[in-house]
Chain A
Amino acid sequence: GNSVTQMEGPVTLSEEAFLTINCTYTATGYPSLFWYVQYPGEGLQLLLKATKADDKGSNKGFEATYRKETTSFHLEKGSVQVSDSAVYFCALSEKNTDKLIFGTGTRLQVFP
């Protein structure tokens, strides 16, 4: 079945460091891919998405590129801030469905 694998955390970085959180997926067909973020005490929020191969999703300085050949959707940010500290979830949905399949989440801690 379809699944999402993302790196375990926590990821601990200093402010302004470069961030990569790896995400790979297994799916039949061509799913849509998502990154969600959960700040402390809040619900999951959609951070960015990509719906087809080679698409790049971007938001708030974060980027991720849909790589079909490596079945990956790695999240990157060039310079993290303390306010980026949160849990990040990679997810996929099959075409024409609303169902989301999530990875386990990666906690990011950014220190000043």
Chain B
Amino acid sequence: GAVVSQHPSWVICKSGTSVKIECRSLDFQATTMFWYRQFPKQSLMLMATSNEGSKATYEQGVEKDKFLINHASLTLSTLTVTSAHPEDSSFYICSASAEDLYEQYFGPGTRLTVT
């Protein structure tokens, strides 16, 4: 089946620094990638949708200047959390889909801790 990886799986950074999370589709070309955020004991919340080669579409309430999303190729999307603060600590999950796959395939997630 289709496989999506994320890197890193776990990261700690200091307040005020930026951190980049990668999402890769390993065995298919992902025309669309999604980024979610999950707080403990809460739902996955969609942050943004990105299509290869175009700007991401952010959900209401998500700061596009803080959460920079790049989908430069059909196998890679990145999420950069800029000037991170402790309240950005969360579990970030990506998923990918393609026109012929009819479902989203999820990465294992990245746990971000901002100290």
Contact = CB atoms under 8 A, between A and B. Distances in A.
Contacts, number: 43
A98 B43 contact: no
Given A98-B49, A98-B97, A99-B49, A43 B106 contact: yes
Contacts of A102: 43-45
B77 interface: no
Interface string A1-14: 00010000000000
Interface in B87-115: 93, 95, 97, 103-109
Contacts of B4: 43
**Contact-residue size bin, chain B (C-beta under 8 Å from the other chain):** 20 to 34
Contact of A44 (B41, B45, B49, B106): B106
A3 B32 CA distance: 23
A89 interface: yes
Nearest to B60: A1
A89 B44 contact: yes
Most A CB contacts (10 A, CB to CB) among B4, B44, B95 go to B44
Given A43-B109, A44-B44, A98-B49, 8 more contacts: A42-B108, A43-B4, A43-B93, A44-B95, A98-B104, A99-B49, A102-B44, A105-B43
